């Protein structure tokens, strides 16, 4: 009996590998976005900590500390802004990857459904052929018995 061979099997395998690759890329992008978000949060926390620390500085040195803080804040704000922009771009890329992944998953699932239908049809055909062979052998055996009974 012949083996089940589906013509689109190679395409299904390619789509499965493509889906795995997209999952890996998505995981990497998510990790990078989380790390970036962590750096942004850390920088904002650093600003808040330094501001709170200014309150504890003795009044005779407070003016100098405040001046130093005010010089430092714009630089840190600019860095936070750049990181925030980079994070936004990364999130956009991540959303695009998710869309790509969903499209590939949908295509792969469609192929798997087609494969299941083809397999079911193949199994049905095999069962029909097997039943046909059994019927033929049964009919042949009965015909032999009848012939032997008549002539034997």
- 64 within a domain of the structure (yes/no): yes
pLDDT of residue 87: 96
Token pair 């789509």 is found at 15
The 10s digit of each residue's pLDDT in 98-145 is 999 999 999 999 999 999 999 999 999 999 999 999 989 998 988 888
- 1 within a domain of the structure (yes/no): no
Q: In this model, does residue 2 exceed pLDDT 80?
A: no
Q: In this model, does residue 1 exceed pLDDT 90?
A: no
Secondary structure of residue 68 in the 3-state scheme: helix
- 50 within a domain of the structure (yes/no): yes
Mean per-residue pLDDT, 28-48: 95
The 10s digit of each residue's pLDDT in 40-69 is 999 999 999 988 888 888 888 888 888 888
Number of H helices and E strands in the chain, helices first, is 2, 0
- 59 within a domain of the structure (yes/no): yes
- 28 within a domain of the structure (yes/no): yes
- 128 within a domain of the structure (yes/no): no
Q: Are 57 and 13 in contact (CB under 8 A)?
A: no
Count of structural domains, the chain: 1
Nearby residues of 97 by Cβ (< 8 Å), 6 or more positions away: 22, 25, 26, 29
pLDDT of residue 152: 64
Mean per-residue pLDDT, 140-152: 83
- 141 within a domain of the structure (yes/no): no
Helix axes 9-56, 59-151, angle to 10 degrees: 160
Secondary structure of residue 5 in the 3-state scheme: coil
In 6-151, the DSSP E strands lie at none
- 142 within a domain of the structure (yes/no): no
Range of the domain at 92: 11-122
Confidence of residue 17 (pLDDT cuts 50, 70, 90): very high
Q: In this model, does residue 25 exceed pLDDT 90?
A: yes
pLDDT of residue 62: 85
Confidence of residue 8 (pLDDT cuts 50, 70, 90): very high
């Amino acid at each position: 009996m012949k083996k089940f061979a589906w013509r689109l099997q190679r395409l299904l395998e390619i789509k499965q590998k493509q889906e795995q690759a997209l999952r890996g890329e998505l995981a990497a992008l998510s990790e990078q976005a989380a790390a970036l978000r962590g750096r942004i949060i850390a920088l904002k926390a650093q600003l808040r900590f330094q501001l709170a620390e200014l309150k504890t500085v003795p009044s005779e040195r407070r003016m100098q500390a405040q001046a130093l803080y005010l010089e430092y804040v714009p630089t840190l704000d600019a860095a936070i802004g750049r990181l925030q922009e980079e994070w936004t771009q990364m999130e956009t890329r991540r959303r695009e990857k998710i869309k790509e992944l969903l499209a590939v998953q949908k295509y792969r699932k469609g192929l798997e459904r087609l494969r299941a239908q083809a397999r079911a049809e193949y199994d049905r055909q095999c069962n029909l052929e097997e039943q046909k062979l059994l019927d033929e052998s049964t009919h042949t055996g009965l015909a032999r018995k009848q012939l032997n009974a008549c002539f034997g």
